[in-house]
Chain A
Amino acid sequence: MHLEIYGDRLCAAVAAGAFASTGNQVVLRAGAGPVGQSLARGQCPFREPGVERLLAEQQASGRLLLGALDEGPDDSADAVFLALEPHELEQALELVRRIGAREQNRWLLINQSSFPVGSTERLQQELDAVRPAPAPPAEVVSLPDLLREGTAIEGYTRPGHWLLGCVSLWAEKRVREILRPFNRRRDDMLVMSPREAEFTRLAITGMLATRLSFMNDMATLADTLSVDIEAVRQGVGADPRIGEAYLYPGCGFGGPNFSRDVMSLASTLAHSGVGSELLEQVLAINERQKEILFRKLWRHYGTDISGRGIAIWGAAFKPGTTRVDNAPVLRLIDALLAQGARVRIHDPEALPELMEHYRGQAGIEPCEDPYEAAREADALMLVTEWKSYWSPDFDKLRSLMNTPLILDGRNIYAPEHVRECGFEYYGIGRG
């Protein structure tokens, strides 16, 4: 089939690569911004594992071509994917008007953009409005982007399930045909209305965020009750009604999608006049949680950390990504710098993005080597649980640091062991 994919988002690139790899003819149309420029230069704008190779292979095969966002699609296209950013709704409407006016085709638009709830319907209305009377109908469906950064390709090609928001049998049939290679083991497609599909994606994120904030609240309580939250987490996760996922307490969640979706859900509820005290609390707890390591340090040093050297391991909002959007590390660094502390930070991938964020700011220094960051530090804060941080050379660390103090924002170390190695240790909810 011939597919055209519009957008700058990771989802656009992954979809383009995935569909090309199963034999489709694909045109990926990114915008004129950095993502498009980087693709045009033959580079991969995403640090997502496997994406660079996938795109390169498919381009080499000739099945994946690049195009411009404001051009196309070709009349021969069997489906047009939209994977645009939330602020690009206007571009999507423009594209819909452009396509709709061309009457000969029976268009299928598959919306994977993270627009507000109801946007797919709005696109459909726009399409209907410009459609001349005798032309064949055109359909817009919603196929929410459920990718998780770090495992995006796997998530697209072997998903647990697909959510499809669609009211037309013809459109459903064609989507099933397009997704057939990725929906093989059994039929995992849940079909509902576009609005329901869009809302489901937000609700999933809201639920996950709620679990995390709930566990963070429990961790705070555990600290005051001298209980180790890790034991509690395992016990809670063992209950089949609850399950193990998203129960890890830590120093807050972030990322470009996760927090944005929760915020979007909260603001959708607020604008609809319903409001959601729960989600507002979930977000508020998370924002507080981002500063939890700071608070522990602040109390440890008797409310004065001016001039202290602080080492930070990990800046990315989670392992496996270069992104620092809404990452806990930003709140943490802001707090440390505002109190006159000096920060030395290591991250295997995210330092360029982080240092771009802090361009021109004094008091923060990026380090190529994690041990270098810890040199003469009065504390080491573990913020992102990259695998390379799980088993450090504690003796070396202790000898490098001014004060052997570890604040573990992801509970990856065993408190007993770290203490035996001569450190003071603070985790999240570890009593």
Chain B
Amino acid sequence: MTARLVRVCKPDLDPLTGAIECAVSGETLTLLADGALWWASERTLVVSDLHLEKGSRMAMRGQFVPPYDTELTLSRVERLVSALSPLRVISLGDAFDDVGGAERLDVSVLERLKAMQSGLDWIWIAGNHDPHIKADIGGIQTDEIALGSLVFRHEPTRGEAIGEIAGHLHPAARVFLGPKSVRRRCFAGDDNRLILPAMGAYTNGLSVTSDAFSGLFQHATMTVGLLGEGRVYAFPRRMLFV
């Protein structure tokens, strides 16, 4: 995957600020600093692993983490939708932290979620945390979807999968910068496949060097796009921490 910085001097509100462009299976894709993917030619926005209602799920087992994660995560998506005006939004699975999550959504949040969907196609791809969503949250539910030369699914398939866009693994990477190292959530990809970072406010990252990622990428062309403040930083595999 070769990455190119899109533009750096745009106003703060523009989600394209600090984004990088890359090619996967011949399609040009834009990696946004918010951790979402923008497929400009198809006017398609892809978000992954939102894990909505993770806070309330923790609260159910007695751990009262601040109850603002759903609102925070959804606001990020709202901002992207209103700025980019997509024709299609794909949620790559694990939109909810558990099967009951959608039913726990606050009424006002549910209204906002539905309002976002007006005038566009919204596709919920099933994830392992939310294999089926019973509540009425609008959009279409499916296991995977193919568009052009790309296929969108939750879990990356083992072995070669040309044109696969997936989530599930919550990639993160540690880069060495002189005297210290920095760890961030990231996109991980090569010329054939791209894995999106988790966008949920309470999602942890899994190192791209861990076993779960082995065999997914060509070592030589693998690149990560580290999420920074208003910018995605591209680094080759060789600069990552083993």
**A, B: real partners:** no
A-side residues, CB < 8 A to B, are none
Taking Cβ atoms with an 8 Å cutoff, the residues of B that contact A are none
